[in-house]
Amino acid sequence: MNKKYEFRLILLFAFLSLLTTKTQAQSAITEISGTTSDLTASDTYTANGATGSNLANNSYTYKYGAASGFNDNQFSLNSFEADGMGYRYEGIPVEVYFRRVDNSTVSGTRDLLFYFGQLSSSTFKLKAPYEPLMESAFVGNSNMMRGSDNLFSNAMDGNGNNNNIERLDVVVSAGITLVSAEGQGYALLERGGANQHDSFVTAVILSVDGSGTPTSYSDVVRVGSSEYGTTNPIANQPSVVLRRDGSIEPLKTSTTLGNQGIGGVMFKFSDFGLTDGQTIYGYSVAAADFPSSGSGANMLDYTNTTYFPTNTNGTTQGAGGIDMIALTGIVREISISGNVFNDITGLTNNLVDGDPLAAIEGNDLYVNLVDELGKVVQSVAVEADGSFGFDAVPLGDLSLQLSILEGTPGNNAPAINLIPEWAYVSDMAGTGAVAENNDGMISFFVGSENIDGLNFGVQKRPTAEIETLAAQQNPGGNVFVSVPAGAFGGEDFDGGTVDAIRISSYPIGADQIKINGISYDFLSFPAEGITIPANVNGEPQQTIEIDPAEGDVSVIINYYSIDNAGSESAIPGSVTVPFTSGPIIIVNNYPATGYGTLAYEDLWPSKGDYDFNDMVIDYRFVITTNNNNMVSQLDGTFILKAFGASYENGFGFQLSESIDANDLTVTGYELSSDVVTLSGNGTEAGQSKPTIIVFDNAYEQMAYPGTGIGVNTTPGATYVQPDTLKIKIIFPENQYSFNDLDIANFNPFIFVNLDRAVEVHLPNYAPTDLADLSLLGQYEDASNPGAGIYYKTANNLPWAINIYESFEYPIEKQEIIWAHLKFAEWATSGGVLFPNWYQNLSGYRNESLIYQVPTN
Amino acid sequence: MRKYHLFFLLLIVLVSACKKDRDQPAEIIPQGMDELVVPADFDWKTTHAYTFELSSAREGIVSIESADGVVYFKGMISQATDLSVEISLPAYLNKVKIKQLGRIFEVELNQAIITASF
């Protein structure tokens, strides 16, 4: 044959080989899940090793099943994973035939099996129960703790582990019509070390005769060692090879083996070119020396030594050395499925139910199958009838996520999103009727079974209305105004109803809100809002009242409608209640808590007796400002309570230099002794700062009662009713601010014994322009104007004090520190200790030294 | 026997004296105002002054109140006009509420300038 023809012949063979034999369509099995159990069945016998083996001359005890002492006697396949997909064992009954052809080594029937187990002190301890007949051991999913050894080996095994089997037929005589050629198939598992598994060929039986003998085959698929993958899904363990001939004697050991695991290969029927709707009758397995040129038709005659040589080599990884695990039968991909419902009842009925749903308002719904790492495995669109399904899913922990976003396999899962107007209301994991969640995600574990009933419930959210009421007069103060229920409203869809509203946040512009009789302010309003039952129109069934803030203000109540499934409206509704008021007048008081007190010693610049009762005046200012915080009026109330002095003293005060006295109009003063000169506007003349003289002679305000020193300081002396004077100061419009007024730093003073030039001020407050400055620093006074020090002694004692609250003054000649017992600590601590020393608290006073107003 | 009586009497006196010294250290109580040692910078005021820097996104009356509802200040603030106001509060006051249009801030009076933004 010339080279040209030889080359063409090679091409022809190669082409025919492609037509008849496929390789690498199958997938390595990467994970096996099964059930391991501890059996009670056991068998024990005594026998020598197998004839022709090295163990033939030794006697051994054989213990099987429970007698072995192992507790993993039974291992049945539940499911496995290949090419990232899970398959489960279908349990369809099969018949197993070992097709034999006598050869020069083996004739008749030889049962050649291995059992996982080991030799221990002349005892073979074998995990699986005793089953000597290969046909029985290999039927179905009986026990994977055993299998064949050198299944198709005819010669050359050093321990005599050869056989005369040329083909293994796994027959389903009734036939199986393929529903999914892509999802149905079979697996072949083999004992061996990783990367050391044995080769073989296999084909699908397309027809059988009345005896279950195949009459036609599919294409043949060849499997090499590499098709098992690189790791064994079942870990290594020792095993023992046993055999018997003629089906009469018990199995006897021929070889003990070291640690080997289980690997496997999965075949889909589509790998053989089969399609949905075809009927198959099982599959056959043969030695790897079945020629590459052999077709399915050549698989029929296992006696044809061209295709089934009778000298098949059984050495390690030889053509016939497959150590097939005793597992036969059909497997099918694991599927999961569920439905999507428009569930208007949500979790309230513990069911995921309602009308089927495939899209929401034009947006298709997708179910994304997501693995433990958050990666999308598969993504499917929900069918028009609301159903969805995944026909091949991996084993393990998975989740389904319902979204309007379609996932891309291998990528991170997209967000679990619906359009804002729709909500997840119920999810159900697995079969059963209990709705478990409402987050659009179902988590589950894929083991050996299909999972149905992975259902999602979604629904359209209700809406909430936006309403603005007519403006009304602001009642002012702490007055509540009812908000009509009809101002609120909502609508639900698809048969659902609005059940409630939730006021989601504290209303804007309200000092208080009262719901069903319970008042809340900004701080006490619950962070989660307040839910109120509503009628089907979304009108609250409890009273809602608001106390508006002062002025022109709109109170805005934000709320959500809630439907019977518990879904809230996507967008909050609101009720706006506008309030109007007249011109804004703001009133402040100083002191805010009530009257304060000014208490003086009048012997300045000589020190006094520190009873601080030479002049005692309660005072309080009312400051009126407008909406620009500009002062329009200052009203001062002064109550002359006592004066423990023989001097005829006057009283006045000075305001901030920020204010021009000429801008003011003052009324309410009482002058009687002709020692004060006023300007036309009521302020004192000759002053650079606005100065108001309230009265000029205390004795003209409160008559001397005839006994005691002065008025209302000597116990037992006749009590004289205090004299109240009200000073009104009108300010020009929008000229002086609250800060300009600086009322807390007003400068009150007395002037002594009708001498306008002798003034006594609070410590560090300067005298007025009319004071005799030459008196500063005389006697005990240690004023130092250059340092801003006024009216203090050398040891920092004052001649006057200003108390924020009304002061109960000492009786005559009793020092303040004796009457007010915390005063000394307050003073010596620089005001840190007992800042409330003047209050009537336990231990704060010696009441016997405090002037008591007679009760009769 | 009388010697022993005298011994025990002395012992009791000594023990009592020691106990008093240990539990009640001698307190110097001023007999009069002149004996007070007052810090030179003490201003004798019963109030503390604070500056409140207030702002809001909405126009409305702001108030500064005590926990028990005493209103120390009320004024107007608006989106366009922040308010800086100096207020003297009782020295014993530790915290106040600042309120505007129903919103409330609770603030500690632990600094001279207090800021609140509504």
Decide if A806 touches B, using CB distance below 8 A: no
> Are A827 and B38 in contact (CB < 8 Å)?
yes
In the numeric block, the tokens 């005819």 are attached to: A154
Q: Do residues A334 and A88 make contact, with C-beta atoms less than 8 angstroms apart?
A: yes
Residue of chain A nearest B88, judged by CA positions = A744
> Are A509 and B101 in contact (CB < 8 Å)?
yes
Could you tell me if residue B60 is inside a domain? Answer: yes
Q: Which two tokens stand for residue B102?
A: 């129903």
In the numeric block, the tokens 């080996």 are attached to: A153
ipTM: 0.81
d(C-alpha A723, C-alpha A729), whole Å: 20
Residues 453-512 of chain A with CB under 8 A from chain B are: 506-512
Decide if A610 touches B, using CB distance below 8 A: yes
d(C-alpha A324, C-alpha A301), whole Å: 22
Is the pLDDT at B12 greater than 80, yes or no? no
Amino acid identity, residue A593? T
Q: Is residue A156 very low, low, confident or very high in pLDDT (cuts 50, 70, 90)?
A: confident
Q: Report the alpha-carbon angle A761-A762-A768, nearest 5.
A: 35
Closest CA of chain B from A574, distance in Å: 17
Rounded to 10 degrees, what is the CA torsion of A416, A418, A420, A421?
A: -150
Q: How many CB pairs lie under 8 A apart between chains A and B?
A: 147
Is the pLDDT at A138 greater than 90, yes or no? yes
Least confident piece of the model among A241-255, A424-438, A623-637: A424-438
Q: Do residues A366 and A126 make contact, with C-beta atoms less than 8 angstroms apart?
A: no
Check whether residue B21 and residue B55 sit in a common domain.
no
Is the pLDDT at B95 greater than 80, yes or no? yes
Query: Of A523, A590, A627, which has the smallest distance from its Cβ to B104's Cβ?
Result: A523
A522 contacts: CB under 8 Å, gap ≥ 6: A506, B99, B102, B103, B104
Residues 62-81 of chain A with CB under 8 A from chain B are: none
CA distances from A115 to A98, A130, A663, A797, A844 (A): 19, 9, 116, 109, 99
Q: Do residues A295 and A244 make contact, with C-beta atoms less than 8 angstroms apart?
A: no
Amino acid identity, residue A798? P
pLDDT at A461: 96
Could you tell me if residue B31 is inside a domain? Answer: no
Domain of B67 in residue numbering reads as 47-117
Q: Do residues A495 and A487 make contact, with C-beta atoms less than 8 angstroms apart?
A: no
Q: What is the pLDDT of residues B31-74, one digit of tens each?
A: 899 999 999 999 999 999 999 999 998 888 899 999 998 999 99
Residue of chain A nearest B63, judged by CA positions = A588
Q: Is residue A271 very low, low, confident or very high in pLDDT (cuts 50, 70, 90)?
A: very high
Is the pLDDT at A247 greater than 90, yes or no? no
List phi, psi (to 5°) of A227: -70, -10
Chosen from B101, B105, B107, B113 to mutate, greatest number of chain A CBs within 10 A = B101
Host H or E run for residue B115 = strand B113-117
pLDDT at A204: 98
d(C-alpha A600, C-alpha A611), whole Å: 9
Q: For residue A135, give the nearest of A157, A112, A154 by alpha carbon.
A: A112
Q: Which two tokens stand for residue A644?
A: 């423990």
Check whether residue B57 and residue B11 sit in a common domain.
no
Is the pLDDT at A452 greater than 60, yes or no? yes
CA distances from B34 to A600, A816, A819, A837 (A): 16, 12, 15, 19
Decide if A738 touches B, using CB distance below 8 A: yes
Could you tell me if residue B42 is inside a domain? Answer: no
pLDDT at A471: 86
Q: Is residue A788 very low, low, confident or very high in pLDDT (cuts 50, 70, 90)?
A: very high
Side-chain half-sphere of A427: how many Cα atoms within 13 Å? Answer: 18
Q: Is residue A65 very low, low, confident or very high in pLDDT (cuts 50, 70, 90)?
A: very high
> Are A628 and B34 in contact (CB < 8 Å)?
no
Q: Do residues A597 and A805 make contact, with C-beta atoms less than 8 angstroms apart?
A: yes
Chosen from A588, A619, A658, A815 to mutate, greatest number of chain B CBs within 10 A = A588
Query: Of A521, A550, A738, which has the smallest distance from its Cβ to B104's Cβ?
Result: A521
- Partners of residue A796 in chain B, C-beta under 8 Å: 38-40, 42
> Are B76 and A816 in contact (CB < 8 Å)?
no
Query: Of A552, A739, A827, which has the smallest distance from its Cβ to B85's Cβ?
Result: A739
> Are A803 and B75 in contact (CB < 8 Å)?
no
Q: Which two tokens stand for residue B70?
A: 């005493």
Other CB atoms within 10 Å distance of the CB of residue A296 = 21
Query: Of B32, B70, B91, which has the smallest distance from its Cβ to A593's Cβ?
Result: B70
Query: Of B32, B42, B101, which has the smallest distance from its Cβ to A831's Cβ?
Result: B42
Percent of chain B at pLDDT exceeding 70: 75
Q: For residue A643, give the nearest of A588, A575, A717 by alpha carbon.
A: A717
pLDDT at B18: 35
CA A607 from centroid of its chain's CA atoms: 72
Is the pLDDT at B103 greater than 90, yes or no? no
Q: Do residues A160 and A142 make contact, with C-beta atoms less than 8 angstroms apart?
A: no
List phi, psi (to 5°) of A817: -70, -20
Q: Which two tokens stand for residue B55?
A: 């702002």
Check whether residue B72 and residue B112 sit in a common domain.
yes
Residue of chain A nearest B83, judged by CA positions = A629
A312: left (phi over 0), alpha (psi -120 to 50) or beta: beta
How high is the mean pLDDT of chain B? 80
> Are A796 and B101 in contact (CB < 8 Å)?
no
Closest CA of chain B from A365, distance in Å: 42
Q: What are the residue ranges of helices labelled H in chain B?
A: 2-23
Check whether residue B90 and residue B53 sit in a common domain.
yes
The total domain count for chain B is 2
Is the pLDDT at A114 greater than 80, yes or no? yes
Q: Which two tokens stand for residue B84?
A: 């800086």
- Partners of residue A745 in chain B, C-beta under 8 Å: 88
CA distances from B66 to A449, A590, A594, B94 (A): 68, 14, 14, 9
CA A464 from centroid of its chain's CA atoms: 27
Check whether residue B14 and residue B60 sit in a common domain.
no
Q: Is residue A435 very low, low, confident or very high in pLDDT (cuts 50, 70, 90)?
A: low
Check whether residue B70 and residue B113 sit in a common domain.
yes
Q: For residue B71, give the nearest of B79, B58, B61, B82 by alpha carbon.
A: B61
Q: Which two tokens stand for residue A275?
A: 């399609």
Q: Do residues A70 and A42 make contact, with C-beta atoms less than 8 angstroms apart?
A: no
- Sign for the pseudo-dihedral over CA of A736, A737, A738, A741: negative
> Are A523 and B99 in contact (CB < 8 Å)?
no
SS3 state at B10 = helix
What single DSSP character describes residue A666? E
> Are B38 and A739 in contact (CB < 8 Å)?
no
Long-range contacts of B7-10 (CB under 8 A, 24+ apart): none
List phi, psi (to 5°) of A4: -65, -45
Could you tell me if residue B32 is inside a domain? Answer: no
Least confident piece of the model among A8-22, A126-140, A718-732: A8-22
Closest CA of chain B from A353, distance in Å: 44
Check whether residue B76 and residue B20 sit in a common domain.
no
How high is the mean pLDDT of chain A? 93
Could you tell me if residue B39 is inside a domain? Answer: no
> Are B39 and A796 in contact (CB < 8 Å)?
yes
Check whether residue B8 and residue B58 sit in a common domain.
no
In the numeric block, the tokens 């899904």 are attached to: A233
Burial of A270 (0-12, 13-18, 19+ CB in 10 A): middle
- Partners of residue B69 in chain A, C-beta under 8 Å: none
Amino acid identity, residue A637? T
d(C-alpha A454, C-alpha A457), whole Å: 10
Domain coordinates in residue numbering, chain A:
18-36+79-111+141-238+262-332, 334-460, 463-580, 588-849
Q: What is the pLDDT of residues A650-706, one digit of tens each?
A: 999 999 999 999 999 999 999 999 999 999 999 999 999 999 999 999 999 999 999
Q: What is the pLDDT of residues A359-393, one digit of tens each?
A: 999 999 999 999 999 999 999 999 999 999 998 88
Chosen from A804, A807, A844 to mutate, greatest number of chain B CBs within 10 A = A804
Decide if A835 touches B, using CB distance below 8 A: yes
Decide if A797 touches B, using CB distance below 8 A: yes
Question: Do strands A330-333 and A184-192 pair parallel, antiparallel, or not at all (unpaired)?
Answer: antiparallel
Could you tell me if residue B98 is inside a domain? Answer: yes
CATH number of the structural domain A463-580: 2.60.40
A334-460 and A463-580 share one fold = yes
Decide if A522 touches B, using CB distance below 8 A: yes
- Partners of residue B86 in chain A, C-beta under 8 Å: 739, 742, 744
Could you tell me if residue B61 is inside a domain? Answer: yes
- Partners of residue A523 in chain B, C-beta under 8 Å: 97, 104, 106
Decide if A815 touches B, using CB distance below 8 A: yes
> Are A739 and B75 in contact (CB < 8 Å)?
no
Decide which of 1.10.260.40, 3.40.50.10210, 3.90.1150.10, 2.60.40.10 is the CATH code for A334-460: 2.60.40.10
Query: Of A508, A745, A828, which has the smallest distance from its Cβ to B37's Cβ?
Result: A828
> Are B33 and A817 in contact (CB < 8 Å)?
yes
Q: Is residue B23 very low, low, confident or very high in pLDDT (cuts 50, 70, 90)?
A: very low
Check whether residue B22 and residue B54 sit in a common domain.
no
> Are A795 and B36 in contact (CB < 8 Å)?
yes
Chosen from A554, A629, A783 to mutate, greatest number of chain B CBs within 10 A = A629
Q: CATH number of the domain at B67, please.
A: 2.60.40.10
pLDDT at A551: 85
